[in-house]
Amino acid sequence: MINLLKRIFLNRNSILVFAVIIGLIAGNKASILKDYTFAALAVTMTFSMTGIGLEYLKNPGNFVKPMLMGVLLNYVVFSLILIPLAWWIMPSRDLFYGFIVIAAAPPGVAIIPFSYILKGKIEYAIIGVTGAFIASIIIAPLLINIFAINQWINPFDLFKMMLQLVVLPMLVSRLLLYKPLFKYVEPIRGKIVDWGFAVLIFVAVGINRQVFFTEPMILLRISLVLFIAIFGLGLGFEIIAKFFKVESSIQKTQSMLISIKSSGFSVFTALALFGREAAIPSAVMAVMVLLYLIFLSLRMKKAL
């Protein structure tokens, strides 16, 4: 029994599912942690970025194309699908703003380990994710200000938030990669990232738990938009990439770059800028991304 519980609490998928369930059951306690979401995300982003190696950036020939593709797929293509769908289907302004934050979020760092698990091109994943993260410093404030035009949000405040949540964690993560430190960081970084995201998901689900129980049609609409943007876009891209004979390993990585966003970042940003209703799409996205990654993993095992 102890071994079973240990496996559950050390498994990424179980931890995130557990966070959703606890949010639904004990969501009235979520407000206690709301003030700590910034710290949780900053720590989570820092440890997750230790998986991003920058040595590939020393040779411009290695990174220009993957970096540009990371930005194109994760921001341009994803936003072109998500934003019109959300505008058409969402019943309220704040829910629509929640999807704008998702479009503005950087890619999920899970793309890197899952590129390894799914036999994608790990170097391509590292460079593509890094490129999109760097671009997010400019693109995220721009997207939010363009589409949330009725909400006065100081562009400098948004830029400062990106510095705090992307640039600073990236710099600190370089220090954690210093060999005398990294030997202590490496065994625990995965669990810190998993539990950090779990805290953010618990808060987002918990403060909106009444929606999950009383407004199934809103959940259905949100889920439909995200299913199309994640499953539809990811799997549709695979078909197109196969038609154009893109190398299999690159194709697998690109299909995640086009469909996976950082749910932790979008949860915090939606809460901070627009309030709890805007965080509902990010909470649902965390579950949808989890289902998508489980689907890809099971498909991979079946293929073997």
* For the chain, domain boundaries: 18-23+31-298
> pLDDT grade, residue 41 (50/70/90)?
confident
User: Mean pLDDT across the chain, nearest whole number?
Assistant: 82
**DSSP H/E element including 14:** helix 12-25
Segment among 1-5, 58-62, 282-286 with least mean pLDDT: 1-5
8's CB contacts (< 8 A; 6+ apart) are 14, 18
Q: Which two tokens stand for residue 134?
A: 């760097």
The alpha carbon of residue 21 and the mean position of all alpha carbons in its chain are separated, in whole angstroms, by 19
With a cut of 60, say whether residue 229 has pLDDT above it.
yes
How much is the average pLDDT of 76-88? Answer: 95
Largest pairwise CA distance in the chain = 54
Q: What is the pLDDT of residue 1?
A: 54
> pLDDT grade, residue 163 (50/70/90)?
confident
Q: What is the pLDDT of residue 7?
A: 60
Q: What is the pLDDT of residue 238?
A: 92
pTM for this entry = 0.80
Q: What number of other Cβ atoms are within 10 A of residue 178's Cβ?
A: 10
Q: What is the pLDDT of residue 129?
A: 83
183's CB contacts (< 8 A; 6+ apart) are none
Q: Domain 18-23+31-298: which CATH class?
A: mainly alpha
How much is the average pLDDT of 95-122? Answer: 85
With a cut of 90, say whether residue 233 has pLDDT above it.
yes
Q: What is the pLDDT of residue 281?
A: 93
With a cut of 60, say whether residue 5 has pLDDT above it.
no
Residue pair 267/286 in contact by the 8 Å Cβ criterion: yes
Segment among 37-41, 74-78, 161-165, 276-280 with least mean pLDDT: 161-165
Residue pair 294/111 in contact by the 8 Å Cβ criterion: no
